[in-house]
Structure 1
Amino acid sequence: MRLRSVPLFLVFCATFFLIQPAGAQMRLTYSNFFPPTHVHSKLAERWCKEIEEQTHGEIVFNYFPASTLTRPQQTYIAVAKGVADIGMTAIAYSRGRFPVLEAIDLPMGYTSGVQATAVANQVLERFDPEELHNTEVMYLHAHGPGVIHTRNKPIHSLADLKGLKIRGTGTSGEVIAALGGTPVGQSMAETYQMLQRGVVDGSAHPVEANNGWKLGEVAKYMVQNFSSGYTTTFAVFMNQKRWHQLTPKQQEIFTRINKKYALKHGQVWDEADKKGMAFFLSKGGTVISQTNEESKRWAEKSSVLLENYIQSVAKRGIDGKVVVDFIQARLQQP
């Protein structure tokens, strides 16, 4: 009797383990600097939920918004080292680390978030930058044209801007300097208090931030300097070890959902710009448009950044002109 029961027990055990999932449930951490109320934080959470649903719970997430797991400047390294499994941050917060991607942020005359996001992912696909090879990139997204906002001084000309302290990071800071302002490099999370306390005279940011970060409460003027407007590229990275722990089917699910959400982020940037403008105006903000002549002056002043970029990355063995030309060609396409 006992001898017979052993084989039956072994058969039961083998059957039990065969019907279990191929691997245990994988729990991933996701670090995002956007606050939980921001539309791009909410969209990141939806991305997590959709992957959980599509993998039938094989993949689950612990989501950390508002820089509660990693600081924006440290997110890429934190993901590469496994401190966080996935992270979203702005490449401008790690100046010099992403020389190819930095070309996307240059004042190219972007018209929308959808356009900027499409170009960003085309650059990623075309050049496969070596600077990203320590992680697995999920997707990129980018906002519509960033413009200058000020606390209490209207900006009608370059002369009005000269010497003003304007918050800006990465390319936005360089745009400010090229236009005659004094850039102050701080993250978006610090901008509200800096404007409120008068630490800076203004900020360069997309219109959406007037609502998303409530900057419309502390900025009174917006100059529509679209000709010198920049974008900011945001990247979602995943730790390579964790990526390779996924099954091929799970990787396919991630890839499919990534393409969907890259477009969603671009669309959301544009929707958020509209809400940002409405919020700014509701707080009594004043919008200052530019004449064609003034717009050309600002474009001419900021165009030096393209040549500076090409010369700068050449020292690192990168043909920046090819990257810039690629972006400009894509912007000419309908």
Structure 2
Amino acid sequence: MLAGGLWGASFAIAQDVTLKVHHFWPPGAMPPTKILQPWCDRIAADSGNKLKCQIFPAMQLGGTPAQLIDQAKDGVVDIVFTLPGYTAGRFPIMEVFELPFMNNSAEAGARAAWDFYGKYGVKEFPGIKPLLFSIHDEGYLHTRDKQIRTMADLKGLKLRAPTRQTNKLLASLGATPVGMPLPAVADAVSKGTIDGFALPWEVIPSVKLHEMVKFHTETDLSRPALYSALFILAMNQARYDGLPAELKAVIDRNSGAGLSQQAGKTWDESQAVGRKPATDRGNSFYTLPAAEVDLWIKASHPLYDDWVADMDKRGLPGKQMLKDAQDLLVKYRK
């Protein structure tokens, strides 16, 4: 009882802290509503309302999605929710989870990414305290005018990709990749700048992209997903370091491996909900059979060799790192 009283007293001494949180999604999208807001609610409750979030969606504080990671690093804001891969080539170690056909479980991917970060990725994020890593539900292809059924159907199509590795994947399959963050996709499709895009189901309804395309190509569930993108909830390290010990403890208790796993689980659960509006609209769906997926896997395999060679050049054990990432995904899929 006394310990509880002292704990409460320590919060009474601590100053109220409001954390400025910035992200690129529209306010009603799944990640800010189902992952970010519940996290903010938990740290508020756990701190006796001493620790609160002020959330700014849809780049309200200015800049581009690619600048979010530096907004956290430089202390422009306290926390960002973004993709490290929006800054191409800057976080090559953690890019291992964006290699094609690695995984088909966001929960397994999130757990594996957190562990892998602890072993290999810490030095890649100076000035930043990661609070979670996650990947999204399975990434698929969505096109405006043409159903993709074979690799040959990709030839000549301009397709949006979120990250460097997904750009490389689309190029290896014969498409013309166009790198762009999510907020730019709707305009690019409507103007015909791109023929389609690579995206998971979860995010599509929040930007009404199911209304701008007619065709969706998914992959046989017996095979890994076409691609994944890695997300981070990143806090300015100095801001964290400056918190009173009891508020640091609140952040620590509510972040890390557990938060990553929960985020991945939430992404997995969001897939059916995100797919439904396209079904209701009468859009056309095609599932690539396993034999066709295997052809795509073979065509994109050199990306693995490239990633390993890049790690080796940096003096890192590339082959072992790739194996560790794959082993972690297997471990957490069980």
Asked if Structure 1 and Structure 2 have the same fold, meaning a TM-score greater than 0.5 normalized by the shorter chain, the answer is yes
Aligned equivalent of 1:184, options 155, 178, 183: 178
Aligned equivalent of 1:52, options 44, 59, 69: 44
In the other structure, the counterpart of 1:63 is: 55
Q: Secondary structure at the match of 1:97?
A: coil
Q: Secondary structure at the match of 2:54?
A: strand
- Between the two proteins, the alignment pairs up a number of residues equal to 317
In the other structure, the counterpart of 1:119 is: 112
Q: What's the offset of the Cα at 1:114?
A: 1.1
Question: Could you report, residue by residue, the CA deviation over 1:229-277 in whole angstroms, capped at 9, with x for unpaired residues?
Answer: 1111100111111111122222222122114432222122112211122
2-structure distance, mates of 1:270, 1:44: 16
Task: Tell me whether 182-191 or 311-320 shows the greater mean CA deviation.
Answer: 311-320
Question: Could you report, residue by residue, the CA deviation over 1:129-188 in whole angstroms, capped at 9, with x for unpaired residues?
Answer: 311122111111111221111111011111110121000032221111111100011111
Question: Could you report, residue by residue, the CA deviation over 1:89-136 in whole angstroms, capped at 9, with x for unpaired residues?
Answer: 111101111111111111133112112211111211222431112211
Structure 1 runs of 4+ aligned residues shifted over 6 Å read none
In the other structure, the counterpart of 1:207 is: 201
> Relative CO higher for 1 or 2, CA cutoff 8 Å, sep ≥ 6?
2
Task: Tell me whether 302-311 or 223-232 shows the greater mean CA deviation.
Answer: 223-232
In the other structure, the counterpart of 1:262 is: 260
2-structure distance, mates of 1:219, 1:327: 34
Q: Secondary structure at the match of 1:289?
A: strand
In the alignment, is the contact (CA less than 8 A) between 1:147 and 1:229 conserved in 2?
A: yes
Relative to the length of structure 2, the TM-score reads 0.89
Q: What's the offset of the Cα at 1:46?
A: 2.1
Q: What's the offset of the Cα at 1:212?
A: 3.2
Question: Could you report, residue by residue, the CA deviation over 1:65-87 in whole angstroms, capped at 9, with x for unpaired residues?
Answer: 11112422111111111101111
Aligned equivalent of 2:283, options 282, 285, 306: 285
Question: Could you report, residue by residue, the CA deviation over 1:185-236 in whole angstroms, capped at 9, with x for unpaired residues?
Answer: 1111111121122110110111222223321111211112455611111001
Alignment pair present for 1:41 and 2:37? no
In the alignment, is the contact (CA less than 8 A) between 2:14 and 2:244 conserved in 1?
A: no
Task: Tell me whether 311-320 or 174-183 shows the greater mean CA deviation.
Answer: 311-320
In the other structure, the counterpart of 2:214 is: 220
In the other structure, the counterpart of 2:140 is: 147
Alignment pair present for 1:247 and 2:239? no
Task: Tell me whether 153-162 or 44-53 shows the greater mean CA deviation.
Answer: 44-53
Please report the RMSD computed on the Cα atoms of aligned residues, expressed in angstroms. Answer: 1.9
Aligned equivalent of 1:28, options 19, 34, 37: 19
Taking a change above 3 Å as real, the CA distance of residues 316 and 46 of structure 1, as seen in their structure-2 partners, is: same
In the other structure, the counterpart of 2:85 is: 92
Gaps of 5+ in 2: 1-8
Q: Percent identity?
A: 27
Give the letter for the 1:321 counterpart: K
Give the letter for the 1:35 counterpart: P
Relative to the length of structure 1, the TM-score reads 0.89
Q: Secondary structure at the match of 1:138?
A: strand
In the alignment, is the contact (CA less than 8 A) between 2:142 and 2:198 conserved in 1?
A: yes
2-structure distance, mates of 1:144, 1:304: 24
